[in-house]
Every structure is written in C-alpha cells, then in structure tokens.
Amino acid sequence: MIKHKKMKKLLSFTLLSALVFMLMSFSNYTETNKTKHKIGEYMKTKHELGALPYAYDALEPYIDKATMEIHHTKHHQAYVNNLNAAIEGTEMEGKSLEELFANMGKYPMAVRNNGGGHWNHTMFWSIMGPNGGGKPSGKLLKAIEEKFGSFEKFQEEFNKAAATRFGSGWAWLSVDSNKALQVSSTPNQDNPLMDVADVKGIPILGIDVWEHAYYLKYQNRRPEYVGNFWNVINWKEVERRYDEAIK
C-alpha cells in the first residue's frame, strides 16, 4: 500500500517533470527557430569567410604557414568585407556571386574585384590540400590527355599561363560551353565565370599568382611557386568540379 502510494507520487512527479521539460523545450525550440530564421535571412545578404578546410601549416613545405595565415585571414577576409560593403543596400545583395559574374560588366568595379576575390580564394583553398599532388584519374585525366596530348603537356601550358600573367592575377583550367577544357589566365581578381573574361567557362582548377600568394617564401621566383603548386593539388575536388561542370 505504502509502496503503491510512493509509486503514484513518483509517477505524477515524473509526468509533471516531463511536461515542464516539454514546455521548456518547446519554448526553447520556438525561440531557437526564431533566431535561426533571423540569422538565415541575414546570411542570405552577407557573404562570409569560410574556414580553411585544413590547418594553416598543412601545405608545408610548398606553401608556408605564415603565407596561408595572412592570405586567408587578411587578404581573403578583406575581399569579403569589401564585397559586403560594396553591395550593401543594393539589388546585388540578394544575388549569388555567379549571378553577378554573368553580368559583371554592368556592376561596379568594387563588386568585380572583391566578389572575384572572394570566389577565387574560396575555390583556391578547396582545390588544394595535404597529401595532394599526383595526377587526376578517370574522366578528367582522359579529357586532359585528349585536349593537351598528355598530362605533362597540360602542366606546361598551365605553368606558362601562370608565369606569363603580367602583374596580379590567376591561371585557370576551365570547362567551356562546349564542355571542352581550356587553360587561360585573368588579371587581378577576374575569373572565367565573368562575362568580361576573354576565355569564359567554369573553372575547375586555379592558381593565385598575385605576389601575396608566394612572396614570403618565393619572392621573385614565381615559376618555383607554380612548380610546387602541383604537389598540393587536391585532384579529388578538381574531379568533382569537372563532373559538376560537364553535367
């Protein structure tokens, strides 16, 4: 009998606790959802610097930690900040970078420079990684061999594009509208997605040849930096981008 009473008490306490807990959770839930919703809307309009997908020293000895740190936290961050400032309060706020690039000619230079800077660096970080290098495989390797004769000949052409870009800029491997591979280079922070580019396409590999990408380690020796870039390429990501581009 006593036992039964005790159990009843325990049961009602448990039920009450559960109810209180559920109510609290629900109010928490709605609160969190409200906040999330607010952040969600906010994020639509603000570009953000993504985390580097590996440690700052992960590309050593080819790209040093100090270079990676300054490049990501200072240069890339500045492009993000300046991009947000340039589009704030305009119709460009709701547009993706790709949408802006497609009509780049009609937007301000600050958007071209900083939007390009943000997109280019984000893709650059993604196509590099620790334990990189080697060669691509499968469809991409076949396409490279078909287009350039061999992987080595492709490397030569890409190296040349990177070495001969005068001033600041990027060298690219892109997929054009005929699904063909193209090597090209662009000045400053332009890229092949922009309607202002000489060679248009979807970039699947890119190398930053602004001096800030290599000066601390290589100074004037850009060809040495470009040569070492091949040791840090994450071909899996390049292949993924290739598959996406030929869809």
Partner 1 sequence: MSFILPALPYAENALEPHISEKTIGFHYGKHHQAYVNKLNELIKGSEFEKSSLEDIILNSSGAIFNNAAQIWNHTFYWNILGPKGLGNPNEIILNVINENFGSFEKFKAEFTNAAVTLFGSGWAWLSKGKNGKLVISQESNAGNPLTKGLKPLLTCDVWEHAYYIDFQNRRPDYAAAFWELVDWRKVESLL
Which residues form the interface with partner 1 (CB under 8 A)? 70, 74-75, 78, 109, 113, 166-169, 187-189, 210-212, 215-216, 219-220
Question: Per the omega criterion (within 30 degrees of 0), is the bond before 203 cis?
Answer: no
Q: Which residues does 240 contact at the CB level (< 8 Å), separation at least 6? A: none
Q: What's the helix, strand, coil split of the chain in %, to 5? A: 60, 10, 30
* Closer Cβ to partner 1, 114 or 234, answer by number: 114
| Alpha-carbon gap, residue 52 to 72, rounded angstroms | 7
Q: At what angle do helices 151-164 and 222-229 cross, to 10 degrees?
A: 140
Residue among 156 and 211 whose Cβ is closer to partner 1: 211
What's the closest the beta carbon of residue 71 comes to partner 1, in angstroms? 9
**Smallest distance from partner 1 to CB 59, Å:** 18
In the bound complex, what is the minimum distance in angstroms from residue 172's beta carbon to partner 1? 17
Instruction: Supply the minimum distance, in Å, between the C-beta of residue 66 and partner 1.
Output: 9
In the bound state with partner 1, the residue whose beta carbon lies nearer, of 113 and 231, is 113
Q: Distance between CA atoms of 205 and 218, rounded to whole angstroms?
A: 21
CA atoms of 210 and 191, how far apart (whole Å): 14
Cβ-contact 229, 196 below 8 angstroms: no
- Which of 97, 144 has the CB closer to partner 1? 97
Cβ atoms within 10 Å, residue 42:
9
| Least Å from the CB of residue 164 to partner 1 | 8
Instruction: Pick the closer one to partner 1 by CB: 75 or 160.
Output: 75
